[in-house]
Amino acid sequence: MRPLDALAKVCGDVRPGEPAEGVLGVEPALVAAPENVTEAADVMRVAAENGLAVVPRGAETRLDWGAPPERCDLLVDTHRLDGLIEHAAGDLVAKAEAGLPMERLAEKLAERDQRLALDVPLPGSTVGGTIATGAAGPLRSLYGTPRSLVIGLTIVRADGQVARSGGKVVKNVAGYDLGRLFSGSFGTLGLIVDATFRLHPVPAATAYVVCAVSGPEDAHDAVQTVLHCAVAPSAVEYIGPSGTVAVLLEGVPDGVAARARQTADLLGENAEISGTAPDGWGRYPDGTTLIDISAPPPALRDLLTLLGPDIAVTWSGSGHGHVGLPAESTPDEVADVLGRLRDALGRHRGGAVVRYTPEEVRGEIDLWGPVPALALMRRVKDQFDPDHRLSPGRFAGGI
């Protein structure tokens, strides 16, 4: 039987791929959109039986991240897996299918004044894609990233077996936490089909304190002032090239008002209190090259110094950020910035990873930089995907 027919027997939505659906130019032979876990498992099993290379796809918001797959026989599309399986509001827990868009999840949770405390830098992105790419925004400073908020995960393995880890209680140390392992694994270990999240109440009040800073020194001082004071911000962001330090406060109305004033006083005369987020908040910086950086707070000064005043950057107080390079950057220029970032951030035990960049640049640079424990990663990959059929080559070290 042809793979298409075999797949069609187990899944209601199977078709040949189209050129426009290429993953970084690699056109999929087939596209399957399972409707539930059973279909997803069957699709993966059939793919295994036929030796198909599989790339999972959510809303395509980050399909251009990383390296192109070595091959792509089958795109597993999750758009039909889009249910909110359970919202246990009393337990502050929700279970959602992988294809559910984050905004729709947020709407449903908001009905009970709750939220998944993750920013959505790219509108439309799905629950599964968010986990697979470890995506987060400014709120990461207080609430963490998907790895901190996923408390249960269901995946389909390369061989089509369904496996769960964690559960639906926040406090749980039974067994290995595959939720954390799968966060940011870019579809190379298995297909994420649903996830259970820890939720937070929607705060009764929020305020932003926004302060224009002039230069790296000033930015560093402003950030340090806020980090070491007692106002307990939910997020502290630097946004460039505008040169803004912005602080998010969440809580009860009286508390937020008082803390906003306190924060504004600390930041000095440039600080303003606002009800809305400043421009660029929670979005990736503009550009055709996006570099994900790990830069602890003391590295901010060096980071901004080396980037200069014109390069777009966002950085969170937790020590993570993004740099955007403009379309006109030559491969050499990208390589140069990247090299200098890795040197400077390496001194602070940080690093820089290229998320996306034009094809002509991609060939000229090392997207990942040094990958500690790469041998161990390969061995884990070999266990989960011995035939290297899951998003082959998309990930660090060619995994």
- Residues between 25 and 64 with contacts to other proteins, criterion CB under 8 A: none
Q: Can residue 276 be called a binding residue for other proteins (CB under 8 A)?
A: no
Stretch that binds other proteins, among 7-15, 71-79, 247-255, 274-282 (CB under 8 A): 247-255
Q: Can residue 110 be called a binding residue for other proteins (CB under 8 A)?
A: no
Binding mask 285-324 for other proteins (x = CB under 8 A): ---------x-xxx--------------------xx----
Question: What residues between 149 and 168 interact with other proteins by CB under 8 A?
Answer: 155, 157, 159, 161-165, 167-168
Question: What residues between 250 and 269 interact with other proteins by CB under 8 A?
Answer: 251-252, 254-259, 262
Stretch that binds other proteins, among 2-10, 102-110, 124-132, 176-184 (CB under 8 A): 176-184
Determine the longest span between alpha carbons in the chain, in angstroms.
73
Exactly one of 224, 225, 270, 288 binds other proteins (CB under 8 A); that residue is: 224
Q: Can residue 121 be called a binding residue for other proteins (CB under 8 A)?
A: no
Binding mask 181-220 for other proteins (x = CB under 8 A): x-xxx---x----------xxxxx----------------
Report the nearest approach of other proteins to the CB of residue 109 (Å). Answer: 13
The size of the interface with other proteins (CB under 8 A), counted in residues, is 93
Measure the CA–CA gap between 370 and 275, rounded to whole angstroms: 41
Cβ pair 53, 33 in contact under 8 A: no
Exactly one of 2, 20, 111, 174 binds other proteins (CB under 8 A); that residue is: 174
Q: Can residue 134 be called a binding residue for other proteins (CB under 8 A)?
A: yes
Report the nearest approach of other proteins to the CB of residue 8 (Å). Answer: 25
In this complex, which beta carbon is closest to other proteins, that of residue 15 or of residue 110? 110
In the Cβ-directed half-sphere of 204, how many Cα atoms lie within 13 Å? 7
Measure the CA–CA gap between 199 and 303, rounded to whole angstroms: 33
Q: Count CB atoms within 10 A of the CB of residue 275.
A: 9
Q: Can residue 346 be called a binding residue for other proteins (CB under 8 A)?
A: no
In this complex, which beta carbon is closest to other proteins, that of residue 251 or of residue 282? 251
Q: Can residue 137 be called a binding residue for other proteins (CB under 8 A)?
A: no
Q: Can residue 85 be called a binding residue for other proteins (CB under 8 A)?
A: no
Q: Can residue 330 be called a binding residue for other proteins (CB under 8 A)?
A: no
In this complex, which beta carbon is closest to other proteins, that of residue 127 or of residue 256? 256
Q: Can residue 71 be called a binding residue for other proteins (CB under 8 A)?
A: no
Report the nearest approach of other proteins to the CB of residue 267 (Å). Answer: 16
